[in-house]
Amino acid sequence: NHDKEMAIKITENWLNNFKKDPIANHLYSSLKGETFENGASFEYLSEFFDAFAVDFETTLERLNYRTPDIIKNIIINEIKSKKDLNILDLGCGTGLCGYFLKPYAKNLIGVDISSKMLERAKEKNIYNNLIRAEINNYLNENKNFDLITAADVFCYLGSLEKIVSSLNASLNHQ
């Protein structure tokens, strides 16, 4: 409990000096036990993942990260030999899911909140289009996807009712 109180004091001091710092605001709110009904802020996530972009893939490799492989195995069994899908990769990051999605896509779009992650994905030349956007906003304006993937995205979004509704509305139901 003493450590938590000390952490709160440190973040309060940080906020007093840098009132608009998104990381300080996020940490302070978390330490105070505030809930994130709407998820972490756009500013916090953008800054956090921009800073993480350079080491992202090597860090995940060290952690034996297998989420893209799990998604790949599930999807490939479902889509079989289709090669003309309109695919949206939400929270595409550096493009780890893009590698296995590309052969099935006539159009592969990656959306992420981090411009630095999108720069790394662009280097791979996998996606037809890469867009920096908040997920709900993007889904509300874009429809007609045959497949939507999202690896390790929902944990940042808070309540999922709105996103599930947006996902459903954005999918082709044929």
Q: What tens digit of pLDDT does each residue of 66-124 get?
A: 888 888 888 888 887 788 999 999 999 999 999 999 999 999 999 999 999 999 999 99
- DSSP reduced 3-state for 102: helix
The average pLDDT across 118-142 equals: 94
pLDDT of residue 146: 94
The average pLDDT across 134-139 equals: 89
Backbone angles phi, psi at 148, to 5 degrees: -125, 125
pLDDT of residue 34: 67
pLDDT of residue 28: 66
Residue 37 near residue 44, CB atoms below 8 Å: no
**Residue % of the chain over a pLDDT of 70:** 87
**Residue % of the chain over a pLDDT of 90:** 34
Q: Tell me the pLDDT tens digit for each residue of 5-36.
A: 777 777 777 667 767 766 666 666 776 666 56
Contacts with 147 (C-beta within 8 Å, 6 or more apart), sequence order: 75, 79, 85, 86, 87, 88, 101, 104
What's the token pair of residue 78?
A: 């479902």
pLDDT of residue 174: 64
Question: Which has the higher per-residue pLDDT, 155 or 150?
Answer: 150
Considering the chain, what is the average pLDDT of its residues?
Answer: 84
Contacts with 103 (C-beta within 8 Å, 6 or more apart), sequence order: 83
The yes-or-no verdict on residue 157 having pLDDT over 70 is: yes
